[in-house]
Structure formats: structure tokens, C-alpha cells
């Protein structure tokens, strides 16, 4: 490739297998001033530092577009600093954090407070969703343009926290008010309330009975109808049912789709028997037939993004009797190993994984200068050893809650290095230097 600038660089990562818009092949990556400056044969170029990554794969920085860092209000479960450490130890270079904190992120002051808390306290780069309520539609168009905001989030069904927009009129008001793509937790609140008694005391395996397939399908159909009527773009989070995939496929002009590693991995009823309330999340983990439907959605190209819904609770909280035990599990640190293991098992190609975790977030959310290894983009890299075998252990987890639902599982494929804006922030399991996380920017609001 022709070089866009004179051939001297701050750092060159040489000899790695690079995955980008050119395909997959061995190439050097030259970085200058925190951005990619050249990709190709840079053996004759000058560099302040040359790092040999022969035998490793060089991916665009992985972006986790759904995490809950619990700050402010629930720092005993997780906080921005520990969550950022967990992200970079797992090879994740950027996160989008959810609004159901205490107080919730439903106005400009709350959003600015989170950005201020995260800047240079998180190792990774970050953005925050602003939460829709039944009362704040009038400020959302301004809120979604604030620095560090990745978009608006609607909870159509109740989950952790008290953010809830259950009815068509208020969902419509939100979709009418905003301009950017809206992220939605799609479970029908009215059906959840009707079926609440089906959550049997001490039986976590009844979680997907209570929050059944129809609860998800009915809400997604409502959401799609409202979005189409309002000419709005939506991003439907953590899809769990095979039934929703053809419905979403028929609406790809307005709807993008997310699935999580845990819904791709675990299946009911086994997971509830094996790890009990640790397997609880919303929407729930369902049967193997639905898990197969999610994989089919990935293979068919219906799924745009895999993200973790990293939602830590303490083990003490999770040990409570169902249904008192809260839903959610940590996930940002195990994201890359779990998905690389699937690549090694032949469940998806490395190129498709990059599409789901870097190119997809860039495309769906209009991220400025992130999500690709391309000249001019931020030099964010996730460098992995596809052959390294390692067992996930609770002791490795940097989150405040210190556990993983994947604990005890051996993975083939492991993150070796995390590079953010040209700076190594993690190498060989060690966090390097002070946190320098910055807000992620978006093309629609530049």
C-alpha cells in the first residue's frame, strides 16, 4: 500500500496477521500521533519502537456496546475504574455504558457527571447511553447530541433499576423526538406483570417460563411497528429467541440486532442446574433450540453486533433465593476469549467476529475514527494469540464482583495486547501506565 505520509512512525507492529478491509494477511501496522499511518510492508521504515507480533493476529480494537458499570450508586458491584481495567485485560478498547445507575442518566447533568468520572479513570475509551423515561422526551434530542453520548436507551420491560417506558404512546414520543439510532430492551412489560407468579420460589429454571418467548416476540413486533410509523432507527439489544430472527430480518432497513456471548453459550435448563442464579439475566437464557436460532442469525448476517451486557452483581446478591436474586453477570473481560474460542471451534470466521465486534459497532452507531484498521483511524488494536489455551478463573476477573459465569471453562484464543490510540494499555495480562480513557465521538454529532 502507498504510504500517506513520510515513512517514519512512533511505533510499528510488525509481522502480525492483520484483519481489515483488505482481508486477512501478514502486514506491518505503522502508527503516528495515535492514529494508523500506514499498513503494509514497513520493513525499511523508521520507528521510535518496533514491536514484533509475528504469530499473533492483529484485530481492530474490540468495542463492547453494552455494559453496566454501576457507577454512580452501586459501586459495591462495579465501578468505572474496575470495569475499565476488566475491559482492557480482556482486549476491549471501548465500551458503551448503560443509563440505569443511581441516579439514572436521564438528563444533561447526569451524563456530564459520568463523562467526568470516566475521563482518565477508565483505561478504555467510553461512551454513555442516555435513558428515556415517560417524562423526558422533550430533552432527548439535545441529550443525544451531548459529548460522550452514544444514543438513547429505552427499557420497554423492567430489568435492573427503575427506567421503564412500557406503553406505545411514550415509546412513540421517544422515537419521534430523537434523530439517532435508539437502543431498546425489548420485553413486553404488561405480559411480564401478568406472568409474574410463574417465577417459582427457589427455582431459577422458571425464569424463562416467566419471561417467555412471547414476552420478547410481542414487544419486538410492537417496537418495529412504532419505529416504522415514526421513521426511526432502532438497535434491538440481547435477542434471545429463534422466533425474533425472521421478524428482524424482514425489517433490516430500520433495525439492527445484538446478541450476547452468554446467550450463544448457555442453554436452559442445564445452565440453571449447573450454575443456578449465576445464570440469571434479562432477557433470560433459553433452550438449545433458541441458542441455535441465534447462531443461525449470525450465519445469515441478521446479527450486526455481539456485545456482553456486562452486568455485575456480588456473589452474595446472586446467592439469594430466586426470584430475589438479581439478573445479570459480568462479561466484558471474558468477551474476547469466549468469542475467539468459537472461531477456533469453527462456529464463525475471524473476519465475521471482527465484523460483529469492531466494524459492526462502527457502522451501527456511526463511531468516528474507530472500529477499523485503516489509515486516519484511531490506532486501537486487540492483539490475540489464536493458539493460546487458558482456563477462565474468577481470580483473573478485575471487576469489583470478581466472578464469571464462564469460570472453569477452557478457551483457545486469548488477548495478548490492548492498544488504544497508539498506546499500549495492556500486554501479557499486565495493565501499563495511568488510565487515559477519553469519550468516543460519533459522526452524527461532530
Catalytic residues: 309
- C-alpha grid cell, residue 276: 443456578
Alpha-carbon distance of 10 to 296, in angstroms, equals: 43
Instruction: Report the sign of the C-alpha dihedral through residues 395, 399, 402, 403, in that order.
Output: negative
Alpha-carbon distance of 238 to 283, in angstroms, equals: 7
Length of the chain in terms of residues written: 446
Tell me which residue of 307, 301, 304, 388 sits closest to 343, measured CA to CA.
Answer: 388
Contacts of 250 (CB under 8 A, 6+ apart): none
Q: Identify the three-state secondary structure at position 419.
A: strand
Q: Identify the three-state secondary structure at position 344.
A: helix
Which single residue is written with the C-alpha cell 452501586? Answer: 74
Q: How far apart, in Å, are the Cα atoms of 127 and each of 80, 122, 235, 304, 398?
A: 12, 11, 16, 19, 20
Strand order in the sheet with 182-185: 62-67, 92-97, 125-131, 149-155, 182-185, 234-236, 255-259, 305-306
Residue 277 is given by DSSP the state G
The residues that bridge with 18 in the sheet, in sequence order, are 25, 58
Alpha-carbon distance of 264 to 36, in angstroms, equals: 33
Alpha-carbon distance of 381 to 350, in angstroms, equals: 15
Helix axes 108-118, 80-89, angle to 10 degrees: 60
Strands (E), 213-288: 234-236, 255-259
Which single residue is written with the C-alpha cell 421517544? Answer: 174
Alpha-carbon distance of 236 to 232, in angstroms, equals: 13
Amino acid at each position: 500500500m502507498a504510504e500517506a505520509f513520510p515513512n517514519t512512525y512512533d511505533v510499528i507492529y510488525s509481522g502480525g496477521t492483520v484483519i481489515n478491509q483488505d482481508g486477512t494477511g501478514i502486514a506491518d501496522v505503522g502508527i503516528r500521533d495515535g492514529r494508523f499511518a500506514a499498513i503494509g510492508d514497513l520493513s525499511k521504515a523508521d520507528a521510535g519502537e518496533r514491536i514484533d507480533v509475528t504469530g499473533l493476529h492483529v484485530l481492530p480494537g474490540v468495542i463492547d456496546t453494552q455494559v453496566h458499570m454501576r457507577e454512580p450508586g452501586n459501586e459495591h458491584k462495579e465501578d468505572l475504574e474496575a470495569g475499565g481495567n476488566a475491559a482492557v485485560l480482556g482486549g476491549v478498547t471501548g465500551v458503551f455504558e448503560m443509563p440505569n445507575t443511581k441516579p439514572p442518566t436521564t438528563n444533561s447533568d447526569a451524563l456530564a457527571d459520568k463523562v467526568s468520572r470516566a475521563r482518565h479513570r477508565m483505561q478504555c475509551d467510553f461512551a454513555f447511553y442516555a435513558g428515556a423515561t415517560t417524562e423526558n422526551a422533550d430533552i432527548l434530542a439535545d441529550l443525544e447530541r451531548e459529548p460522550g453520548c452514544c444514543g438513547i436507551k429505552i427499557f420497554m420491560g423492567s430489568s435492573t433499576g427503575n427506567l421503564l417506558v412500557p406503553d406505545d404512546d411514550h415509546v412513540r414520543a421517544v422515537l419521534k423526538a430523537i434523530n439517532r439510532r435508539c437502543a431498546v430492551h425489548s420485553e413486553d412489560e404488561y405480559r411480564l406483570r401478568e406472568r409474574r407468579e410463574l417465577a417459582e420460589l427457589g427455582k431459577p429454571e422458571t425464569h424463562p417460563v416467566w419471561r417467555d418467548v412471547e414476552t420478547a416476540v410481542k414487544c419486538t413486533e410492537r417496537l418495529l411497528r412504532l419505529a416504522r410509523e415514526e421513521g426511526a432507527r432502532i438497535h434491538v439489544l440481547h435477542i434471545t429467541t429463534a422466533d425474533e430472527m425472521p421478524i428482524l430480518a424482514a425489517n433490516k432497513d430500520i433495525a439492527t440486532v445484538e446478541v450476547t456471548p452468554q446467550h450463544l453459550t448457555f442453554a436452559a435448563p442445564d445452565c440453571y442446574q449447573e450454575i443456578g442464579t449465576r445464570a440469571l439475566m434479562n432477557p433470560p437464557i433459553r433452550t438449545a433450540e433458541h441458542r441455535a436460532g441465534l447462531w443461525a442469525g449470525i450465519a445469515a448476517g441478521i446479527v450486526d453486533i455481539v456485545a456482553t451486557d456486562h452486568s455485575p452483581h456480588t456473589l452474595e446478591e446472586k446467592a439469594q433465593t430466586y426470584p430475589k436474586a438479581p439478573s445479570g453477570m459480568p462479561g466484558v473481560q471474558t468477551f474476547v476469549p469466549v468469542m475467539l474460542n468459537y472461531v477456533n471451534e469453527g462456529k464463525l470466521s475471524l473476519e465475521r467476529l471482527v465484523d460483529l465486534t469492531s466494524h459492526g459497532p462502527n457502522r451501527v452507531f456511526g463511531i468516528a475514527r474507530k472500529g477499523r484498521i485503516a489509515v486516519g483511524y484511531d490506532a486501537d488494536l486487540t492483539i490475540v494469540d489464536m493458539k493460546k489455551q487458558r482456563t477462565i478463573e474468577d481470580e483473573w476477573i478485575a471487576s469489583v464482583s470478581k466472578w464469571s459465569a464462564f469460570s472453569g471453562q477452557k478457551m483457545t484464543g486469548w488477548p495478548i495486547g490492548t492498544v488504544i490510540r497508539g498506546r499500549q494499555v495492556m500486554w501479557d495480562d499486565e495493565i501499563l501506565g495511568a488510565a487515559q480513557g477519553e469519550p468516543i465521538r460519533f459522526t452524527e454529532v461532530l
